Each structure stands twice: as C-alpha cells, then as structure tokens.
C-alpha cells in the first residue's frame, strides 16, 4: 500500500475495510464490506480529477472537461490500475472457484482512495492519486481521442496482415518505469515509441504506424 500511494498509513482499520469484499463478509459473517468506502472514493477521485482538469485547461468548456474526465476515471482505467498494483492479492476475498470479475479491481481501488481520504485528508490524497496516475500513465489518457492500436489491428485484419508488438527494452528514469516498444506489420518495423506503461508505448508505436498507413495523425 505505502509503496503504491507513497503515504504513511495511520488508521489501518480503514484500509482493511477497503480491501474487504462483500463475498468475504457473507462467508465470514462479520465486518463491513468495502462498498461504503468505494462510494466515498468514487466521489473523491472525481473531485481530484475535476479540480486538476479545471486548473490545467482554463479555456475548455464543460463538454470538453467532461470528455477528458471520462478518459481518466472510466471503469476500464480504474480496473487496469487496480490490476497493475496487484490489489486482489491484498484483498479479503471469497470468490470460490469463480473468476475474479474485472470490476472488483476498480471498485477496490476506489475504496482505497476513500480510506486514504479518511485517514489523511483531501490534500494528501490528491498528491497520492496524482503520483499513482503519473506512475501508471493514467493522466496521459486525457488527450487520447483515438485508439490507434485498435485502428491498426482492424486495418491489418481487413488486409490480412500480421501485426506484432515487441518490447525492445525496459528501464527506469527518475524512479519511473519506461518501456520502448516497436510494432511490426508483416515483419517490417512500422513504428517505435517509449512510454511509462506498455499500453501507452504500444499506443505510441501504433500511432506512428497509422501515420505511415493513413497519413499524419493528430
């Protein structure tokens, strides 16, 4: 927990509750599930992102700000983030043999944000969330308007081309993981990019490949 959020935890009970899924409460017949903290964390996350976007983009109207916000705190982004920090391994979870539903990752992450807020207040929660978003390249999604990787896969499928993404190297810069990835189409390198996550590097490489195929991409 501390390594991900970069804060010193005080009230451990809140974090234990944030990591307690309703399935565990049913089986063990005791304790509170993380659903209330999830509700709180959802609102806190919205406030943090809205506050940031409002300050960073003074000329953007309500519609633009709403679209940018949805790219950052949508369900897929939060599920990916929860999965990236290995949140299920920390959870008190009783799912039996059932596969863990994707939403559990994002819901638990929201609950953890709620726990940090109750424990340390808004200011420290905001700093912790921005740190985590930057580390996992979530804030970069503000400017994503095209899914270049999906566009490239669709074109390759239509034209019977083989597409392959390859990790060339991984390294750290100022404590942040970086990945260099290239994309090959029918064995030929069509794009390379570096990103703070494999997903963002793949998007960058796909964008360059799309530039070769469709012309310059905005």
pLDDT digits (tens, 9 = 90+) for 177-200: 889 999 999 999 999 998 878 888
Asked about 52 being catalytic, the answer comes back as: no
pLDDT number for residue 48: 96
CA distance 68 to 143: 7
Give yes or no for residue 96 having a pLDDT over 60: no
Q: What is the pLDDT of residues 29-87, one digit of tens each?
A: 667 899 999 999 999 999 999 999 999 888 888 988 888 888 888 887 888 888 888 88
Give yes or no for residue 174 having a pLDDT over 80: no
| Neighbouring C-alpha atoms within 13 Å toward the C-beta of 46 | 9
17, 42, 80, 137: the active-site residue:
42
Closest CA to 73 of 37, 41, 120, 115: 41
17, 38, 80, 110: the active-site residue:
110
CA distance 24 to 74: 26
Residue 96: Cβ-neighbour burial (10 angstroms; 0-12, 13-18, 19+): exposed
Q: pTM higher than 0.85 for the full model?
A: no
Average pLDDT value for residue range 16-41: 85
Confidence of residue 97 (pLDDT cuts 50, 70, 90): very low
Residue 115 — φ and ψ, nearest 5°? -70, -40
Please list the alpha-helical segments (H only) found in 121-166: 122-135, 148-158
- List of domains in the chain: 2-143 (1.10.1520.10), 148-214 (3.30.160.20)
CA distances from 138 to 55, 77, 144, 145, 186 (A): 18, 7, 11, 14, 31
């Amino acid at each position: 927990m501390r390594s991900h959020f970069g804060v010193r935890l005080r009230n451990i009970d809140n974090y234990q509750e944030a990591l307690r899924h309703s399935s565990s409460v049913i089986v063990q017949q005791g304790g509170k599930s993380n659903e209330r903290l999830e509700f709180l964390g959802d609102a806190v996350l919205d406030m943090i992102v809205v506050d940031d976007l409002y300050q960073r983009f003074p000329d953007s109207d309500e519609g633009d700000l709403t679209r940018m916000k949805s790219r950052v705190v949508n369900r897929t982004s939060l599920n990916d983030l929860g999965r990236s920090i290995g949140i299920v391994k920390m959870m008190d979870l009783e799912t039996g043999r059932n596969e863990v539903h994707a939403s559990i990752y994002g819901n638990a992450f929201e609950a953890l944000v709620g726990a940090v807020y109750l424990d340390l207040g808004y200011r420290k929660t905001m700093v912790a969330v921005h740190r985590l978003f930057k580390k996992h390249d979530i804030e970069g999604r503000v400017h994503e308007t095209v899914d270049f990787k999906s566009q490239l896969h669709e074109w390759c499928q239509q034209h019977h081309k083989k597409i392959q993404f390859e990790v060339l190297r991984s390294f750290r810069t100022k404590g942040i993981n970086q990945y260099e990835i290239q994309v090959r189409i029918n064995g030929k390198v069509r794009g390379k990019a570096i990103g703070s996550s494999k997903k963002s590097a793949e998007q960058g490489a796909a964008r360059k490949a799309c530039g070769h195929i469709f012309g310059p991409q905005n």
